[in-house]
Structure formats: C-alpha cells, structure tokens
Amino acid sequence: MEEMPQLEEMYQNLKAENINLIGVGTDSGESEENLETSRKILTEKGVTFQNISPDPENAFYQDFISEILGYPTTYVVDKEGNIIGAPIIGNLENQMDVLQKRIDTILSEK
C-alpha cells in the first residue's frame, strides 16, 4: 500500500504519453467486505487510475491472477495486448530502470 502514491505519480506522468496504468486488487473481488476495504484504501491514498476487482469465479482470475507469484507484480503491455518482458515482481522503486526501458520500447514503436 505504501507504493500507491508513487504509482499515482507515475500514472499522472505517463498520461501525457498516452500510457495507462491499471491496478488489479487480486483479493478485492472475493467478498463485499474486501471490495469496500479496497475502495476505502484507494480513496485514502488518492488513487485515480483504474483498478479492477476480479471475481475468483471469472476466467480472468483463474487463468491469469491465480498465476501471480509475488506482490506487487507489474506487467508492461503494449497497445496490441502483448506483454513486454517478464513480470516485474516486487517494489518498483528499485526497478524503475527496467520499467522505463520497457516503456521506452513501446514508445519507440509508435
């Protein structure tokens, strides 16, 4: 949760480049209580980027979310839906160079 303000700042900076950031609350769709807790945290942290709360019964959850090995996990996806590079697992603060290289790769393809 400490990373939320940093992600919001990143989102605000990337919007100008037509790059979006989407969060996925992997357990927020498991119950109404989890969903309300997630919404409260997002509001308190000032998050304005889109967040998804997948239903555990949904194929997206079963095929994708259930395979995530660590938290947070970051995927860089181009406009065609292709994942660029391997998932970035863990806090982004120490991995910003990797993230920026992948973003630059996508931007250079425009």
All structural domains of the chain, each given as residue ranges with its CATH number in brackets, are 4-108 (3.40.30.10)
pLDDT attached to residue 43 = 94
pTM attached to this predicted model = 0.78
Band (pLDDT 50/70/90 cuts) for residue 78 is confident
pLDDT attached to residue 1 = 57
Backbone torsions φ then ψ of 104, nearest 5 degrees:
-60, -35
Residues 39, 43: Cα–Cα separation, whole Å: 6
- Over the stretch 17-38, which tens digit does the pLDDT of each residue have? 888 999 998 889 999 999 999 9
pLDDT attached to residue 93 = 83
Band (pLDDT 50/70/90 cuts) for residue 42 is very high
Q: Which residues pair with 51 in a beta bridge?
A: 23
On the CB side of 95, CA atoms within 13 Å amount to 17
- Is the pLDDT at 45 greater than 70? The verdict is yes
- Is the pLDDT at 91 greater than 90? The verdict is no
* Closest listed residue to residue 14, CA positions, set 53, 49, 46: 49
Contact 73, 89 (CB under 8 A): yes
